[in-house]
Amino acid sequence: MSDPLLLSVRNLTKRYAVKVLDDVSIDFHAGEIHALLGANGAGKSTLCRIIAGLTRSTSGTMQIAGHAFAPENKRAAEAAGVQIVQQELNQIATLSVAENIMIGRLPARFGVVDRGELHRRARIALDRFGLQEIDTHAITGSLGVGRQQMIEIATALDRDCRVLILDEPTAALSAGESETLFTWLNKLRQQGVGIIYISHRLDEVARLSDRITVLRDGKFICTRQTADVDRDAMVDLMTGESTENQAGDEYVSHQTDRVAMRVEGMSRGRWVRDVSFSVNRGERLGIAGLVGAGRTELLRLIFAADRADSGAVYLNDESTPRRFADPSDAVAAGLAMVTEDRKENGLLLSQSIRANTTLASMNRLFSAGGWIRGAAERQMADRMRESMETRCTSIEQTVGTLSGGNQQKVAVAKWLVRDADIFLFDEPTRGIDVAARRRIYRLFETLAREEKSLVIVSSDLEELLETCDRIAVMSAGRLVASFARSDWSTEQIMQAAFASPDTVAVG
Ligand SMILES: Nc1ncnc2c1ncn2[C@@H]1O[C@H](COP(=O)(O)OP(=O)(O)OP(=O)(O)O)[C@@H](O)[C@H]1O
């Protein structure tokens, strides 16, 4: 590689209760996209947080362009040319889009913020990234997760940088948005920016990156040219095991002909428009579609997390619709929902894995006297930790200190331990590594075998094709097509997702 050395890290070690980075040394070059690979909890984010000045290493050194680099905080790292886009959204939900983009750089005239200039400059940052439709006056928190992520990336790209760190940037992006991002990354690479890229989507890594570095259990395993490593080899390096004996599980149907839930005429504004479908017992129903197609909103309406304009949910063969005033009614009726944004909706970050896992099942854990049955609670949490292989010191570890993927495992576990009949999953494996994903698919299968019904929203079409009995497609708020496993094809599903809802017949 002829590109000059840009950033070197030497013997970095980071210790919390245990060592989470252990003597790691890596060279990053200018003008390269360097992917960091590793299972959930391998230490990828921690390494990046040290480079970005968000945390300090316990020992070890770094250099940027030959100069010693030991940032005290994010501002110091930015001054040296390092920008980071983290896994979780870090914008201030109550501020406008323009304020978030320009935070720390607010243009002022005579000591007062120049609003016109603020919006003008934010507009340029968004337009540059193809985000013409986002209003700079909009309140950031009112936009979808995908949009917020795009704004965060646009903000980082708008600041001059030599090193750009992206921690799972595409997890919440649609295919189109991801393509825009890749175009930009290629441009930045040509301009000599060094890009550090974390993703669990190996096809993306293969396509985009020049080199990969693999971390396992906090240790450096190897750096390779991406072109020299195929997908299976990447997984082997990450897990330290051979994939040869880990072929995917055979698909088995557990679908019965008894209806578990019927949704009729569900509507809310322009987001969800007259959606009707049913799901049987033992069925795994996938919902495909582009980001913004209304899939998350549909689940939220069924779960009564938002109020529908019209529409009804019927359970089993009942002819009277259920009226859920809020999610607690839905839970009482046997529904469970795993939400997309674990930080906002799913987890209590300051509480332990144990408390979070059993949170939704508390009624089952109370003894006659009203005390929580501690032993049963611990047992339940321990069982889930084992089956999901959550990487932690113990079930008493605070969820906020787990790696992103491991937090997601707890969010999924919390609902899996509940004795629900109908599970609504919104992007259940977002940020989860390849091996853990397999285990979650197996848990889906177990649930279906127990005649539970699953509705799975996922942007990862491969995931739906692998796990589901049927795939319904949403586009612009409408349910536009539905395909049984026996007659689906990727092309048909993609076509339906991209088609205008008025031109496609429901299959
Ligand atoms: N503040 C903290 N206190 C204790 N442990 C922590 C803290 N922050 C991180 N860890 C631990 O460090 C380890 C590495 O976490 P890190 O977030 O770097 O993993 P990762 O490779 O980015 O994983 P993922 O793919 O899930 O994002 C994890 O086991 C995590 O629990």
507 residues of the chain, pLDDT tens digit each: 456 899 999 999 999 988 999 999 999 999 999 999 999 999 999 999 999 999 999 999 999 999 999 999 999 999 999 999 987 777 787 889 998 888 877 777 777 777 888 899 999 989 887 788 889 999 988 887 778 888 888 888 888 889 999 999 888 777 777 888 899 899 999 999 999 999 998 989 999 999 999 999 999 999 999 999 998 899 899 988 776 555 567 889 999 999 999 999 999 998 899 999 999 999 999 999 877 788 989 999 999 999 999 999 999 999 999 989 998 899 889 998 887 665 555 688 888 998 888 776 665 555 555 555 677 778 888 888 887 888 888 899 998 898 888 888 888 888 777 778 999 999 888 888 888 888 889 889 999 999 999 999 998 888 999 999 999 999 989 999 999 999 898 888 888 887 765 544 443
Q: Which atom of ligand 1 is nearest to the CA of 43?
A: 18
What gap in Å lies between CA 58 and CA 80, rounded to an integer?
21
For 497, the 3-state DSSP assignment is helix
Report pLDDT for 438. 84
Question: Which residues are near ligand 1 (CB < 6 Å)?
Answer: 16-17, 20, 38, 40-46, 391, 401-406, 433
pLDDT at 92: 80
3-state secondary structure of 69: coil
Asked whether the domain spanning 256-334+420-507 has the same topology as the one spanning 5-244, the reply is yes
- Cα(502) to centroid(ligand 1), Å: 46
| Cα–ligand 1 centroid distance for 40 (angstroms) | 8
- Ligand 1 atom nearest residue 168's Cα: 27
Question: Residue 440 has what pLDDT?
Answer: 85
Q: What CATH number belongs to 5-244?
A: 3.40.50.300
Going from the Cα of 243 to the center of ligand 1, the distance in angstroms, rounded, reads: 25
Nearest to 427, CA basis, from 418, 439, 417, 440: 440
pLDDT computed for residue 360 by the predictor: 67
Through-space distance between the first and last CA atoms of the chain, rounded to whole angstroms: 52
Q: Is CATH 3.40.50.300 correct for 256-334+420-507?
A: yes
| Distance, CA of 328 to CA of 137 (rounded, Å) | 35
CA of 507 to the centre of ligand 1 (A): 45
- Strand 272-280 and strand 5-15: the pairing is unpaired
Of 476, 423, 471, 490, the C-alpha closest to 451 is 423
At residue 88, the pLDDT reads: 72
Which H helix or E strand runs over 7? strand 5-15
Residue 456, C-beta contacts closer than 8 angstroms, at least 6 positions apart? 284, 285, 286, 287, 425, 428, 444, 463, 464, 467, 468
Domain boundaries in the chain? 5-244, 256-334+420-507, 349-418
Q: What is the pLDDT of residue 291?
A: 73
pLDDT of residue 505: 42
What is the best residue among 13, 36, 403 to mutate for testing ligand 1's pocket, by most ligand atoms within 8 Å of CB? 403
Read off the pTM: 0.80
Predicted local distance difference test score (pLDDT) of residue 312 = 95
Residues in the chain: 507
- For residue 344, the model assigns a pLDDT of 56
C-beta of residue 336 within 8 angstroms of C-beta of residue 423: yes
**Whether 422 contacts 330, CB under 8 Å:** no
Distance 46 CA to ligand 1 centre (A): 6
